[in-house]
Amino acid sequence: MHGLTPRDVRRLAFDVAEVAGINHRFCKTSKMAGKDWLQGYFSRYPDLSIRAPQGTNLSRAVAFNRPKVQQFFDVYRQLLLEVPCTPSRIWNMDETGITNVQHPSKITAMKGQRIVAKVTSGERGATVTVICAISAAGSFLPPMFIYPRKRMIAALLTGAPPQSMGYTSASGWTDSNLFIKWLEHFLGFTNASKNNPDIIILDGHHSHKTLSAITFARDNGLHLLTLPPHCTYRMQPLDRTYFKSLKSGYNVAADSWMVSNPGRRITFFDMAGIFGTAFT
| pLDDT, tens digit (0-9, with 9 covering 90-100), for 178-212 | 999 999 999 999 999 999 999 999 998 888 989 89
pLDDT at 101: 80
Band (pLDDT 50/70/90 cuts) for residue 100 is confident
Of the candidates 218, 167, 181, the one whose C-alpha atom is nearest the C-alpha of residue 197 is 218
Tallying the residues shown for the chain, one arrives at 280
The C-alpha atoms of residue 1 and residue 128 are separated, in whole angstroms, by 32
pLDDT at 206: 86
The answer to whether the predicted template modeling score (pTM) of the entire model surpasses 0.85 is no
Band (pLDDT 50/70/90 cuts) for residue 121 is low
Is residue 199 within 8 Å of residue 79, measured between CB atoms?
A: yes
Average pLDDT over residues 214-233: 91
| pLDDT, tens digit (0-9, with 9 covering 90-100), for 31-63 | 899 999 999 999 999 999 888 887 766 666 667
pLDDT at 264: 87
Domains of the chain: 6-44 (no CATH), 79-279 (3.30.420.10)
| pLDDT, tens digit (0-9, with 9 covering 90-100), for 136-174 | 999 999 999 999 999 999 999 999 999 999 999 988 888
DSSP 229-269: TT-HHHH-HHHHHTHHHHHHHHHHHHHHHHHHSTT----HH
Is residue 100 within 8 Å of residue 126, measured between CB atoms?
A: yes
pLDDT at 195: 92
User: In this model, does residue 2 exceed pLDDT 80?
Assistant: no
- Tell me 142's DSSP state: P
User: In this model, does residue 221 exceed pLDDT 90?
Assistant: yes
Average pLDDT over residues 238-254: 91
